[in-house]
A and B are shown apart, each in its own frame.
Chain A
Amino acid sequence: MEIQRREFIAAIGSSAAVGLAGCAALGGDDGDGPEISGETLTLTTTTSTYDTGLLDELNAPFEDRYGVTVDTVSQGTGAAIETGRSGDSDVVMVHARSQEDEFMEDGYAINRRDLMFNDFIIIGDPDDPAGISGSDDAVEAFAQIAESESAFVSRGDNSGTHTQELEIWEEAGFEGGEFGEWYQEAGQGMGEVIVQTGQSGGYTLSDRGTYLSMINDTDLEIHVEGPVEDGPEILSNPYGIFAINPGVHDNVNYDLAMAYIGFITSLEGQEIIEEYTVEGEQLFFPEAIAEEPNFQQYVPEDWDGSNSD
């Protein structure tokens, strides 16, 4: 973690001049670039980014600079992607790499960028009925929850968090549908699931951001930490952003979508992400700018280089 943050700060230092030059060029109206002032961008994103309040911090300076409006629709990752698939949003910000890759391979999304990351944590009742507190093995902790038949509240909504949760269960030897009565599918957003978990005295998998933003409203405690606090890698939670392919949906506002992606992956946008805190804790860690850029991020994992259509 420390290493990544240092890389990021180094990147700010070394490329500030380039960034400023880029901003000046983009900001001018006298160039040959597209005129986007006065237009509206529709962003579909996950409840986890929306509920933390980060998007308001990111959108306000973007709207000011370009004289545009951002309409943010917060859904689960699955729904956010589906809305993009029908061309009803211009840009999508989500956190489920496997779903994003599939979407890109289908040709609906282009120009994906790694944006930022935070991590998942296993939170639960302070009494810790399954005895998992302090474990550094998320898979083992899930197995213990199952063994003790403690209540587990699942998002159950095809969100990025739900996708990750099912992956951990699979590692722990559970396939879908094999759970007992202790496993409850809420079918709702993270906040609602945290509230519901508090009522049931059990456990859930949460992204750290939503948990921190609700820390005053819940008794639940962190029992297993994610990689931000040196926890296991399986709890890492990377966010990506991509534009909807204007070749598939010619009504999408592609220019504005790319301006938005450019802004939030710029030094300014990444700094806003870096500096955003709730209750004194940093929620998201910028990932778009690094000393050693990750070229692989543009390519879906296991991409064989051909168009399947």
Chain B
Amino acid sequence: MPLDLPILSLLFVDFPFEWNYIRSIIRVSLYVSITAVVLSTLFSIPVALLVGFKDFRGKTLLTSIINTGMGFPSVVVGLIVLFTVSNEGPLGSWDLVFTPEAMIMSQFVLAAPVITGVSLAAVSSVEQNVRDAAYAMGGTKMDVALVTIKEARYGIATAVLAGFGRAISEVGSVLIVGGNIAGSDGTSVTRTLTTAIQLEARQGRFETAMILGAILVVLVLLVNAIVVRLGNGGGRYG
């Protein structure tokens, strides 16, 4: 064990579980959250550009719907997704209940408004004359969009991180639609760090729960650091 995980051996506690188990939980957590965030980003940024640039009837309403979605309770999302993917729901035949894919669906619903909302703010703050200049230089609509995204990249990176933070630290909806399943071979099927923490706490094993919590925090810090690095083009810190 110490070879596998030198940092944890410094904690001077009995590491009370199999490294395989932990690794599979981390893998499921990252797979679900990152997939959901990538999908949300692909969906959210075009929406943010459209809403940010176009004037249309109901724009204020749409903006306030997005903002409301940013604070939508995750257990409610879990329930709605459960009803959708349940055998008796509209997607029942897809057999998605208690799968990572169902968890991705619920995290998509949670993360998309956050990424859209924060990106929208970033995109809207890009100066009109930057866009005008792009047009003036003969740019297509796509070029203008790319210039805007480039100008707003810090804001968009913040949006993606906020979405990721919401997805990976979320427990209510993944517990409902995922079922917190671990196989008898000791690897996770739909168990994430958060639902594992919930399970350990329910069994009174607070030490284990704390260690899992520490792993979750370290993971979020790591992802943040990586995204900030990418946002800086791998160069200086801004």
Contacts and interface: CB of A to CB of B under 8 A. Distances in A.
A170 interface: no
Interface residues of B, number: 23
Interface size range on A against B: 20 to 34
B203 A251 contact: no
Nearest to A70: B184
B185 A60 contact: yes
Given A87-B87, A88-B97, A195-B204, A74 B184 contact: no
A273 B48 CA distance: 57
Interface stretch (A121-129, A139-147, A213-221, A286-294): A213-221
A225 B180 CA distance: 32
B203 A191 contact: yes
B95 A60 contact: no
A191 B98 contact: no
Interface in A48-80: 51, 55-56, 59-60, 63, 69-74
B59 interface: no
B205 interface: yes
Nearest to B88: A86
A150 interface: no
Given A51-B202, A88-B97, A217-B205, A56 B184 contact: yes
Contact of B202 (A72, A87, A191): A191
B181 A73 contact: yes
Interface string B167-201: 00000000000011111110001100000000001
A213 B203 CA distance: 8
B178 to A, nearest CB: 9
B217 to A, nearest CB: 22
Q: Which 5 pairs of residues, A with B, have the shortest CB-CB distance? A: A87-B87, A217-B204, A73-B179, A59-B184, A191-B202
Contact of A71 (B88, B181, B203): B181
Nearest to A217: B204
A69 B228 CA distance: 41
B44 interface: no
8 contacts: A59-B184, A60-B185, A63-B185, A71-B183, A73-B98, A73-B180, A88-B98, A217-B204
B204 A88 contact: no
Chain B CB count within 10 A is highest, among A70, A71, A188, A218, for A71
Contacts of B179: 71, 73
A106 interface: no
B102 to A, nearest CB: 11
Contacts, number: 62
B119 interface: no
B106 to A, nearest CB: 15
Given A86-B88, A217-B206, 11 more contacts: A47-B202, A60-B184, A70-B184, A71-B183, A71-B190, A73-B98, A73-B179, A73-B180, A87-B86, A88-B87, A192-B202
Given A42-B98, A71-B98, A251 B87 contact: yes
Contacts of B182: 72
A213 B205 CA distance: 11
Contacts of A217: 203-206
A194 interface: yes
A249 interface: yes
Contact of B189 (A71, A213, A214, A249): A71
Nearest to A69: B183
A191 B209 CA distance: 14
Nearest to A73: B179
Interface string A217-256: 1100000000000000000000000000000010100000
B203 A51 contact: yes
A47 B92 CA distance: 26
Contacts of A195: 201, 204
A269 interface: no
A251 B96 CA distance: 12
Contacts of A160: none
A74 B97 CA distance: 14
A189 interface: yes
B21 to A, nearest CB: 12
Contacts of A191: 201-204
Contacts of B86: 86-88
Interface in B196-238: 201-206
A87 B204 contact: no
Given A188-B202, A251-B87, A74 B180 contact: yes
A194 B202 CA distance: 9
